[in-house]
Amino acid sequence: MADDSLVRTPPDGQRSSIQLPRDGFEVIAWIDPPLLVSQRAAGKSYDVTIAGRPMTLDLPMKGSGSSGDRDERGSWREIPEFPGRPLAEPIARGGWISLTSSVQFRTEILIVEAIRLRWRDPARRRRVRKSLDAAFDFDRELGAWLSIALDWLAAWRGATRRYVSTEQTPQIRMGVSGYDGAISGGQMSSFGLHFPSRRVSKPSELRAAFIAASRQRELPLEHQLFAEALAYGEAARWRQAIISACTAAEVALSESVERLLVAAGRDEKERKAILDRPPAIMDLCRLHSVTKPGLPVSMDAVRKTLATPRNKAAHRGQEQDEDAVRQALTTARALLAVTPLPTPAALIRAARQN
């Protein structure tokens, strides 16, 4: 686990030679787990907004198959190559990542272990000059921003993003104009990472995920719940996986039914009467089945793979097995098609129009 205390001077008493523009900030942030994107994204820059501040995000020029090994001596962590020499110094006593892959990827990939962020903020710099603690909350701000972006990327890939647990904040190294040193903070786990899929994020998906995070547009609730079900399933928590999968399907069907009622000319009072007390999943299926194009799966499949197992899991506390969870996830994924996830292209178009 990384040391999350402020580190104000380099080892051996050396001072940094950071020279930023007036009121300038530069951050190198290590990401765990790293982003997997097409090599075509290498060295690209993005305009993003984090905690209300516009800034530039740079990707590294290249990535390795694994990050630097843990150094018991606590030496400084290597910074990946960025376009133009980065000014912020490496992390002291940094975390580490173990990368493995069970398959060969179909395309050349860029393993983004760190990103660089640059911006100008006169008010924040004045606060930092009074107390370095004013700079130390950036890892939490960046962590919240990254969480949204990673949720979208995982959903587009159809992948499990994480186990259901408290996330670590990104480990950062920050340079601030007017301060002859560097500030570090954040935490980073040391768990190994396994890539079971050949699917990597496209540059357009990365750009769209950054747009969503910059606008604080979280993943739709039904897709959040389905991601939770996938994570529970991967962690062999079968009962929770069944409950989350069924809840995700219920939310998707409820959203879809409300849109159908609006299209049918039902006023708000009528819609509230139908949907204010959340109907069970089978009731929602019945409402949906009489409309075009109907349900993407049969009601019998919904009953057998979602409704009945969820009732046993939630109300009777019965544990489920892996096969039941696999079937539930398959049915829930099919039902989520009634509220499809916005595509990367749609998010990019919307950003251009605004």
pLDDT digits (tens, 9 = 90+) for 233-270: 888 888 999 999 999 999 998 888 777 776 666 677 76
Chain centroid to CA 330: how far? 22
Sign of the dihedral defined by the CA atoms of residues 321, 226, 167, 146, in that order: positive
What is the pTM assigned to this prediction?
A: 0.78
Tens of pLDDT along 14-57?
334 456 778 888 999 988 778 888 899 999 999 999 999 999 99
Return residue ranges of the chain for CATH 1.20.120: 223-338
How confident is the prediction for the chain on average, in pLDDT? 78
CATH code for residues 223-338? 1.20.120
54-87: pLDDT as tens digits: 999 999 998 754 433 334 333 345 778 898 888 7
Q: What residues form DSSP beta bridges with 56?
A: 47, 118
The answer to whether the CB of 168 falls within 8 A of the CB of 32 is: yes
Two tokens at 122? 């006169």
SS (H, E, C) 50-63: ECCEEEEEECCCCC
